[in-house]
């Protein structure tokens, strides 16, 4: 069920830009939150994967390949976070807490007490296969801001295979942002900054609270979205600098953006398996 009064595009609220997110310094677990954020930003140094691709990926399948493996990468990110518990809980104050993935609910990763089900924070985790032809993360983030607490995070992890078409997954510095702020910024961009004409109204579901049951309706919905692009966070510009830095990362000594260009050309002209 949606609320009767939707967000609307009008002169009264056009200047209400969402405020920049503040760290939850008043939260009793702030030091834990800060350490977890540091670990996430240091993910390339702690990430471990058991996956090893030994057969080269076909040029025509390189894009679908990334989509297929994305869930595997996200599972391994969660395992890596738990293996790095000494980093975010050096004094063992949270010995009963662990990161648990719940892919059919929001957020899809919870820091949870395994004995009491107490939840300290959540992470909405997305993976981005860096060789994807879009050249930017294509996920849709549609959740309404009231489903997020101030301490919840949206984390996007970029990855490739160590030998580009074979090897083990390697990750680069993730995009880490307040999940609530990302939802608020997305709506603001859709209503006021998007270069489009027509109805920009957004309807939000009613009575949404953090860590909702998977069956609940929790997504914001634009009244008009013929291209089904609402929630494409990368198109709002909020990730631009990070995306460009990711494309400058090198794999086998060559920048990611050059690999993307190569695969685009190769997929258009050849079906030969790369050796």
Q: With contact defined as beta carbons under 8 Å apart, do 104 and 214 qualify?
A: yes
Residue 38 phi, psi (nearest 5):
-65, -40
Cis peptide before 89 (omega within 30 of 0): no
CA angle, 140 then 141 then 145, to 5°: 160
Which pLDDT score, from 0 to 100, does residue 137 have?
94
Residue 2 lies in a domain: no
Going residue by residue through the chain (275 aa), what tens digit of pLDDT does each one get?
344 345 544 434 455 788 888 899 999 999 999 999 999 999 999 999 988 988 887 766 777 777 788 889 999 999 999 999 999 999 999 999 999 999 889 999 999 999 999 999 999 999 999 998 888 999 999 999 999 999 999 999 999 999 998 899 999 999 999 999 999 999 999 999 988 777 889 999 999 999 999 889 999 999 999 888 999 999 999 999 999 999 999 999 999 999 999 888 877 775 444 44
Which pLDDT score, from 0 to 100, does residue 104 have?
86
Residue 7 lies in a domain: no
Residue 9 lies in a domain: no
Which pLDDT score, from 0 to 100, does residue 267 have?
72
Please list, residue by residue across 15-32, b when 16 or more beta carbons sit within 10 angstroms of its beta carbon and e when fewer do: eeebeebeebeeeebeeb
Which pLDDT score, from 0 to 100, does residue 198 have?
75
Which pLDDT score, from 0 to 100, does residue 10 have?
45
Residue 6 lies in a domain: no
- State which residues form the domain around 78: 30-269
Which pLDDT score, from 0 to 100, does residue 11 have?
39
Q: How many domains does the chain fold into?
A: 1
Burial bucket for residue 99 (CB in 10 Å: 0-12, 13-18, 19+): buried
Which pLDDT score, from 0 to 100, does residue 59 have?
67
3-class SS of residue 223: coil
Which pLDDT score, from 0 to 100, does residue 60 have?
67
Q: Shortest CA distance to 136 belongs to which of 229, 237, 51? A: 237
Burial bucket for residue 85 (CB in 10 Å: 0-12, 13-18, 19+): middle
Residue 17 lies in a domain: no
3-class SS of residue 37: helix
Which pLDDT score, from 0 to 100, does residue 268 have?
73
Residue 199 lies in a domain: yes
Residue 242 lies in a domain: yes
Residue 118 lies in a domain: yes
Query: Please, how many CA atoms are within 13 Å of residue 71, restricted to the half-sphere of its CB?
Result: 5
């Amino acid at each position: 069920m949606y609320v009767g009064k939707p967000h609307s595009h009008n002169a009264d609220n056009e200047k209400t830009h969402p405020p920049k997110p503040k760290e939850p310094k008043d939260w009793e677990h702030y030091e834990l939150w800060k350490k977890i954020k540091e670990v996430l930003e240091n993910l390339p140094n702690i990430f471990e994967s058991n996956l090893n691709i030994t057969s080269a990926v076909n040029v025509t399948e390189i894009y679908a390949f990334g989509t297929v493996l994305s869930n595997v990468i996200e599972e391994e990110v969660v395992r890596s976070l738990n293996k790095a518990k000494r980093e975010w809980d050096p004094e063992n104050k949270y010995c009963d807490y662990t990161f648990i993935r719940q892919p059919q609910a929001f957020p899809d990763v919870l820091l949870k007490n395994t004995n009491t089900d107490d939840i300290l924070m959540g992470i909405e985790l997305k993976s981005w296969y860096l060789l994807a032809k879009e050249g930017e993360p294509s996920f849709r983030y549609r959740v309404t801001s009231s489903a997020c607490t101030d301490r919840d995070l949206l984390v996007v992890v970029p990855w490739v295979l160590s030998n580009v078409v074979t090897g083990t997954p390697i990750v680069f510095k993730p995009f880490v942002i307040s999940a609530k702020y990302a939802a608020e910024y997305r709506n603001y961009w859709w209503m006021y900054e998007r270069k489009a004409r027509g109805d920009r109204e957004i309807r939000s579901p009613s009575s949404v609270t953090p860590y909702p049951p998977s069956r609940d309706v929790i997504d914001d919905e634009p009244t008009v979205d013929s291209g089904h692009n609402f929630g494409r966070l990368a198109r709002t510009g909020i990730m631009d600098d990070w995306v460009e830095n990711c494309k400058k990362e090198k794999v086998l000594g060559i920048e990611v953006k050059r690999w993307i260009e190569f695969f685009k050309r190769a997929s258009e002209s050849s079906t030969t398996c790369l050796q």
